[in-house]
Chain A
């Protein structure tokens, strides 16, 4: 059995410096964290603006737009704040596979109950 390829770790520990140990950090810098947070805040503002039709009338694009914006926020948090982008590849694969499987299973379940049929939604 071969050893699985687990990818490159983002942070390697143990850079000892004359009695004062710090951890070498290969993830995002503090500045990058702030930029990601600002982008997240901006996307949230756009999301909230969709609720107020007087700002922009999204029409049929509303639901796809909200799903895409939610997906981008999900990715940014998982990739940068949870370090998936910088951590070992095996974690990324496990998480991505799990998410895809979970979404697939629940989509099948909801489809079986005909949730996505337009006439099923009460007005």
Chain B
């Protein structure tokens, strides 16, 4: 006969690794907010997986679709990527992940000044990345690669644009954390709030790692 477990039951008591101390009173010992963020990130994997697959499909098979036999994909595709510029953008986003974990680490030590410094640095690095993306999109448009130029460009702009929107949302979340810290509402006791924002930020970074390799580097 199955034993019924409820979310509020002290299920982990006696089974966890802290001698019965269950910090979150859930069956998994993970707070609902953190679990929700991980589930959200799981769904985001599918979203970006779909967008990357669509990009690959239209990049490599574009000419096989009716009406697209004569499209010069190389002229409008890989040949106009500015790899050195995008590499710097990628590096900036990678370093923003470092400053994010340093912000969380400072918060766990109740070092609020450093937490705010690292949070603002992370937001600025994210804003730098977005500025680079806006510049890149503008350059592509001037080269003749608009959103509706062909189905390949639509896939490219949708993929990288969606990622840019995610970075922008992340910047807003970081600024929100900065304001909370400045008002004294963010302390070591609720550092998990910042950790959850950090999870989102690192996920955005990890998605860019894949996009950078698949879209820009793999020939």
Q: Chain A: residues with CB nearer than 8 A to chain B?
A: 1, 3-4, 6, 8-9, 11-14, 20-25, 28, 30, 33-34, 36-37, 40-41, 44, 47-48, 50-51, 62-63, 66-67, 69-70, 73-74, 77-78, 80-83, 88, 90-91, 94-95, 98-99, 102-103, 105-106, 109-110, 113-115, 120-123
Contacts and interface: CB of A to CB of B under 8 A. Distances in A.
**6 closest Cβ contacts across the A-B interface?**
A37-B98, A70-B213, A23-B108, A1-B2, A48-B87, A106-B53
A74 B74 CA distance: 28
Query: Which of A25, A36, A122 is the most central at the interface, judged by chain B CB atoms within 10 Å of its CB?
Result: A122
Main secondary structure, interface of A, reads helix
Interface of B: 2-5, 11-12, 15-18, 21, 23, 27-30, 38, 41-42, 45-46, 49-50, 52-53, 56-57, 60-64, 73-74, 83-84, 87, 90-91, 94-95, 97-98, 100-102, 105, 107-110, 187-189, 191, 195, 198-199, 202-203, 205-206, 209-210, 212-214, 217-219
Contact of B28 (A36, A67, A90): A90
A66 B21 CA distance: 45
Given A1-B3, A33-B101, A81-B202, A88 B28 contact: yes
Given A12-B23, A41-B94, A99 B45 contact: yes
A21 B110 contact: yes
Contacts, number: 166
A80 B101 CA distance: 9
30 contacts: A3-B12, A9-B17, A13-B191, A22-B109, A22-B188, A34-B98, A37-B95, A41-B94, A44-B90, A44-B91, A48-B84, A51-B217, A63-B218, A70-B209, A74-B209, A77-B97, A77-B205, A77-B209, A78-B202, A81-B101, A88-B30, A90-B30, A95-B41, A102-B46, A109-B53, A114-B61, A120-B64, A122-B73, A122-B74, A123-B74
